[in-house]
């Protein structure tokens, strides 16, 4: 007959609680800590430290289905998720989890944390391992976990109990993977995205889901560098002094990306890279952006209807093709610099020309700067030089003088359209940046402000959008701002009619 000691009874009680409660399970978790080369007898197997922020995070894992975790490095989030998945595998027979990482090496490291936890669990709470490969683990109770790299088709064709995506903001195929695992979400499965911030990709799906919480059904968790005990301002400054300094990564950018102190810093464009004034952009996003009061034809947003005495300028950035960049036409109030309307999409050149003309007419024959595309750029067999399609329509309303000509200083201008080139581009972007900094221009489009956020200086100092982002709106704003210098409003209307219909009343 087995004698039950106090220690045995306590162990049994701990095991019972651990099977039903994740936090009780965490108290039994041990991890492998790497040794410190400067300290004798450091590293080895240690108990998982239940820091306050991890206890709160653990409660979120227990109660929420869709979780987005924006974090600093080394705050214990990945270990906590690994322990959570391990808990489910051992206590929920038949659990089937997918771990997604940006590369196969990272996937192996993610799974390695889970395997370490599994191997160090007390026998009273752990299931025996049935199969163990470099990228998978199967237990005798039918539970399994698979680790994969973020490839185009990762996760497709299988419905999981849950998916965990580590460093999601750096996944090369995050959007495709999200669509691939959507059936898991639809079936009630859990999706956990956790990541440090990728400052070179301001419009990522990870950030969109995080920012959209809770209205989009997601729960967000932010873990700053200071969440880990022992990290104070002295630690921050010491870490910054030892941070890498290269052409692509300054110490300031390194700390903003790896060790943010607050949510705003994490989600804002890097002060070290941003081309436009970050403080002004953040203020504009919070206080100036508006939902459009009307959306017309699926591509045109209206924030303010034209007024009889209003004077307006329009900047148009044209695109080439049914994929890639977009065509964008932005209209500003000439007097106040406030955005009143915007067309954004991939219409056929003929359709784009008609919509541009519709806006031109509606906004009191707005003065237009239409970017002229280069030779040989075609779409659907037609030249994408939209300005040439607009010219005959302008002639019908007698508005030749309401279009910018590249040779406008000539007595007889013959080059219609704005040419963005090595000479004009620095000027137009520089003056737009100055207008933003001095709060002379007001952008209503949240998507447009996001483009301003993702506009940076590259390693050579040239202003451009970050990888994966677009700049169609930015360039249309820059052209429209230039038009304020050239616009003439001596004759608001010509008196001649136009055959271009106002497709919808404003």
Nearest-angstrom CA–CA distance, 485 and 408: 12
Tens-digit pLDDT profile for residues 358-408: 999 999 999 999 998 644 444 443 435 788 889 998 888 878 789 999 988
Is 254 part of any domain? no
Lowest mean pLDDT among 19-23, 71-75, 323-327, 407-411: 323-327
| Cα distance between residue 353 and residue 389, in whole Å | 6
pLDDT at 321: 52
List, in order, residues 6 or more apart from 217 with CB less than 8 Å away.
Answer: 66
- Choose among 469, 226, 473, 480: nearest CA to 360: 480
303 and 199, same structural domain? Answer: no
Q: Cα dihedral sign for 436, 437, 442, 444?
A: positive
Evaluated on CA atoms 201, 202, 203, 207, the torsion sign reads positive
Q: Looking at residue 9, what is its pLDDT?
A: 64
Range of the domain at 37: 6-227
In a domain, 188, yes or no: yes
Asked if 55 and 178 sit in the same domain, the reply is yes
Give yes or no for residue 1 having a pLDDT over 70: no
Domain contains 402: yes
Of 8-22, 150-164, 251-265, 309-323, the range with the highest mean pLDDT is 150-164
Residue 497 domain flag: no
According to DSSP, the residues that pair with 100 across neighbouring strands are 148, 165
Report yes or no on whether pTM surpasses 0.75: no
Cα–chain center distance at 160: 26
Last residue of a domain, one of 227, 249, 265: 227
Please give the full DSSP string across 17-53, using - where no structure is assigned.
HHHH-HHHHHTT-EEEEPPPTTSTT--EEEEPP--HH
Distance CA 246, CA 459 (A): 9
Q: Do 296 and 208 reside in the same domain of the chain?
A: no
- Mark which of 227, 248, 271 sits at the end of a domain: 227
Residues 28 and 123 in one domain: yes
pLDDT at 453: 84
Percent of the chain with pLDDT over 70: 88
CA distance linking residue 152 with residue 80, whole number of Å = 27
Residues 99 and 163 in one domain: yes
- Both 209 and 332 in one domain: the answer is no
CA distances from 393 to 150, 387, 476, 493 (A): 49, 10, 21, 15
pLDDT tens digits along 38-70: 777 767 889 999 999 999 999 999 999 999 999
For residue 265, being part of any structural domain is answered with no
The answer to whether position 244 is within a domain reads no
Domain co-membership, 222 together with 287: no
Instruction: Examine the pLDDT at 85 and tell me if it is beyond 80.
Output: yes
Find the CATH number of the domain harbouring 327.
3.30.420.240
Q: Between the CA of residue 185 and those of 163, 218, 468, what are the distances in Å? A: 9, 11, 26
Q: For the segment 462-478, what is each residue's pLDDT rounded down to a tens digit?
A: 888 876 678 999 999 99
Q: Are 201 and 334 part of one and the same domain?
A: no
Q: Do 15 and 157 fall within a single domain? A: yes
Quick one: average pLDDT of 283-300? 92
pLDDT of residue 50: 94
- Chain-centroid distance, C-alpha 379: 29
pLDDT of residue 3: 58
Please, which residues have CB within 8 angstroms of residue 428's CB and are 6 or more apart in sequence? 420, 478, 479, 481, 482
CB under 8 Å to 291, separation ≥6 — which residues?
A: none
CA distance 483 to 328: 15
Least confident of 12-21, 412-421, 432-441: 12-21
At residue 501's C-alpha, the angle toward residues 497 and 503, to 5°, is: 150
Same domain, 382 and 466: yes
Residue 474, phi then psi, degrees to nearest 5 = -55, -45
211 inside domain: yes
Q: Is residue 189 part of a domain?
A: yes
Beta-bridge partners for 457? 463
State the average pLDDT over residues 417-439. 95
377 versus 330: the higher-pLDDT residue is 330
Counting the structural domains of the chain, the total is: 2
What is the CATH classification number for the domain harbouring 66?
3.40.50.300
Residue 322: which pLDDT band, with cuts at 50, 70 and 90? low
Q: How far is CA 251 from CA 275, 331, 386, in A?
A: 18, 39, 45
- Do 178 and 60 share a domain, yes or no? yes
| pLDDT band, very low/low/confident/very high, at 6 (cuts 50, 70, 90) | low
Based on the domain organization, do 180 and 319 belong to the same domain? no
């Amino acid at each position: 007959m087995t004698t039950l000691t106090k220690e045995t009874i306590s162990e049994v009680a701990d095991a019972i609680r651990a099977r039903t409660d994740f936090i009780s399970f965490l108290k039994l978790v041990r991890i492998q800590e790497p040794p410190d080369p400067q300290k004798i007898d450091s590293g080895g197997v240690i108990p998982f430290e239940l820091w306050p922020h991890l206890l709160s995070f653990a409660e979120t894992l227990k109660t929420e289905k869709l979780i987005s975790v924006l974090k600093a490095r080394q705050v214990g989030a990945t270990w906590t998720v690994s322990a959570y998945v391990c808990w489910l595998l051992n206590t929920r027979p038949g659990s089937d989890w997918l771990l997604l990482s940006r590369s196969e090496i990272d996937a192996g490291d993610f799974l390695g944390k889970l395997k370490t936890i599994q191997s160090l669990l007390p026998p009273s709470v752990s299931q025996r391992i049935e199969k163990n490969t470099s990228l998978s683990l199967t237990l005798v109770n039918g539970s399994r976990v698979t680790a994969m790299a973020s490839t185009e088709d990762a996760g497709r064709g299988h419905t999981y109990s849950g998916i965990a995506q580590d460093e999601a903001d750096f996944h090369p195929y995050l959007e495709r993977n999200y669509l691939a695992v959507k059936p898991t979400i639809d079936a009630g499965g859990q999706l956990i995205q956790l990541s440090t911030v990728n400052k070179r990709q301001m419009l990522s799906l990870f950030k969109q889901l995080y920012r959209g919480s809770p209205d989009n059904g997601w729960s967000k968790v932010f873990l700053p560098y200071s969440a880990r005990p022992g990290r104070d301002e002295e630690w921050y400054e010491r870490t910054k002094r030892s941070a890498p300094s290269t052409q692509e990564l300054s110490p300031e950018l390194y700390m903003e990306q790896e060790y943010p102190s607050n949510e705003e810093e994490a989600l804002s464009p890097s002060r070290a890279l941003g081309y436009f004034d970050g403080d002004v952009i953040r203020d504009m996003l919070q206080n100036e952006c508006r939902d459009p009061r009307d959306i017309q034809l699926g591509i045109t947003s209206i924030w303010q209807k034209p007024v009889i005495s209003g004077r307006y300028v329009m900047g148009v950035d044209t695109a080439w093709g049914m994929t890639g960049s977009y065509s964008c036409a932005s209209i500003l109030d000439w007097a106040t610099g406030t955005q009143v309307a915007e067309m954004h999409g991939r219409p056929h050149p003929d359709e784009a020309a008609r919509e541009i003309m519709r806006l031109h007419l509606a906004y009191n024959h707005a003065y237009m700067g239409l970017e002229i595309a280069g030779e040989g750029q075609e779409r659907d067999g037609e030249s994408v030089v939209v300005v040439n399609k607009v010219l005959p329509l302008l002639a019908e309303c007698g508005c030749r003088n309401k279009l910018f000509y590249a040779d406008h200083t000539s007595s007889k201008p013959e080059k219609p359209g704005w040419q963005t080139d090595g000479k004009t581009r620095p000027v137009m972007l520089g003056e737009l940046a100055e207008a933003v900094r001095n709060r002379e221009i007001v952008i209503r489009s949240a998507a447009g402000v996001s483009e301003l956020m993702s506009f940076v200086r590259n390693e050579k100092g040239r202003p451009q959008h970050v990888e994966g982002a677009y700049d169609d709106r930015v360039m249309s704003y820059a052209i429209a701002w230039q038009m304020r210098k050239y616009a003439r409003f001596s004759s608001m209307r010509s008196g001649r009619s136009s055959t271009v219909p106002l497709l919808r009343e404003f």
